[in-house]
Amino acid sequence: MRRSSLSEEKKNKAFFFAGLAAVLLTVLPGILLGENAVFTYHDQLDGEVIAYVLQARHLFRGEILPEFMDGASKTALTMPAPVFVLLFLSGNVCAALTTMLIVGRFFGFLGMYLLAKEVTGNAGAAAITGVMFGWLPFLPVYGLSQFGIPLLFWCALQLKEGRHKLWAYLYTALYALASSLVLVGFGILGMGILWMLMCLWKYREALLRTFGAWLLLLGIYVVENFRLLAQLLGFGEDFVSHKSEYALDADSFVGLLGQYLTKGGQHSEDCHLLLLAAALILLLLGFVCKTSGTGSLQKNMGICLGWNGFFVLAAAFWDSAPGIWLRDRLSVLGAFQLDRLLWIAPCFWYLLFACAIALGAGIFAERSRAAGGIALALLSAAALVTGAQILLSGDVKSNVQKLRNPDYPMLSFREYYALGVMEQVEEYLRETTGQKPEEYRVVSLGIDPAAALYQGFYCLDGYSNNYSLEYKHTFRKILEPELDRSDYLREYFDNWGNRCYLFSSECPGYYTIEKNGFYFQDYRLNTKALSELGGDYLFSAAYITNASEQGLKLLREEPFETDDSYYRIFVYEVEEP
């Protein structure tokens, strides 16, 4: 008996460490590439990374970010995983981002492994689903918001049983520090209330322990987000958010239901469709071929399906016509994105699949090797195809390709932030004008403003989901000539406006312009309004043919670039109107 127990323990350790190695190996290509690595830039390099960079520069100092949108409030750039700002204090942003990815993947695997093993008792199923969950292409800037959910649920189960209490409380605190209240924490807190009601009904001895963890989570979230919460409650901030002017468009409830059920929501795509289909087949097979653990596994599969069904229905309603009707009457709160509940869904999809694997293994071992063998073959095929889909859908594929071919056409970290080019621009302005970056204000055209912010320039433009409505209206005067020429740009800015950028009707929807011969033939902007806002220089990724007619003076005919840079930057001075 003792030998059998030791053998089982060794097998479990082998599963765990093999799975952990498979997860961490996916980060290796990016580590080897360094600043030449590829990171998803939408909602990451263009926004959240800049939030960490600027908040780190001004940590515990003042209430504004002087470089951002002419001194916007710190609530304009809320970090989605606050504790990770400590990584950015070093100034090595790429290393900090890579570290966040490593931490996220590690906790993603660890949490899913422990949760699946706790629920199924099958270390093999836990390792397989742990690896796939750890591979998911969640953006590292969100910290443990998504990757850390399985371990948090495991902690809840431990507290219910009165086991590992200290570790459960410590991780609950870590999760609160390393995740976002706005993006996912509200959903976790809501589930916590329902879980406590369950404890009150069935597990009263666990209620106090569970309430303590919930209170710890809530308390840390409140401390972290006190500025934002104060603004939402109507005190602490003296500006009206531009979100109050959001124009929400309704989508088909049925269409959203299908999309969210099969694909997931924004930034929560998890390639679960094959896993769901295989799990449903196994669920039905379990009713025919009952084994010793069938009832428990089927119950847990039902719980997973129930939670995700609720998330999908709630998100689809919120974005459909009835939901939009309700949201239009909630002012700023109407901009709240309930589809973020879908960030919790991947945990349940993969736990569902772990239960299916355990069910298939039970049928094979106890009832029918033929039926069990077919079931395990089906599950294996679903796991292999899904694993391949995951690896091909994220940055892993891009970084492997970048290692093989440095000219692989995907924007790298270095290229996106124009490293080696922005430094030239700063040095040129310092030498020719004697000015330091804090003494002038810049805007960018065809270059994401994140590049200038990364370098330390003081910018009038930027990407924010919570800045002053008054500032939006002021900035709009600068854009007005181009907005009047494009219905798409006008609706994009007026009805949403998170991107407070210089747009062009000649290339609408393009925020980065490669040095490929493109030039602006008839660019128009209100230079007087730009000057009144404090604008001194315009950085453009393309030559502006009619610059002088618009009150822009090209400071140097030769653009700033390097041999391998993505951008070619022309610097224009904003002349007095």
Can you read off the two tokens belonging to residue 166? 């200290």
Q: Are 496 and 246 in contact (CB under 8 A)?
A: yes
10-residue mean pLDDT profile of the chain (577 residues): values are 68 92 96 96 94 95 93 93 96 96 98 97 95 97 97 96 95 97 94 91 86 96 88 72 85 93 90 95 86 85 96 94 86 78 97 95 82 90 96 93 91 95 96 94 96 96 94 96 94 94 89 88 95 96 94 95 93 87
Quick one: which H or E segment has residue 445? strand 442-445
DSSP string, 391-409: HHHSHHHHHHHHHH-TT-S
Contacts of 150 (CB under 8 A, 6+ apart): 108, 111, 112, 114, 115, 116, 133, 347, 350, 351
| Main-chain phi, psi angles of 87, to 5 degrees | -65, -30
Residue 93 pLDDT: 97
Q: Are 268 and 259 in contact (CB under 8 A)?
A: no
pTM: 0.94
| Main-chain phi, psi angles of 468, to 5 degrees | -70, 130
Alpha-carbon distance of 133 to 137, in angstroms, equals 9
| Main-chain phi, psi angles of 119, to 5 degrees | -80, -40
Can you read off the two tokens belonging to residue 329? 């009457």
Give the burial class of 35: count Cβ atoms within 10 A of its Cβ; 0-12 exposed, 13-18 middle, 19 or more buried. middle
Please name every residue paired with 65 in a beta bridge, in sequence order, or none if there are none: 72
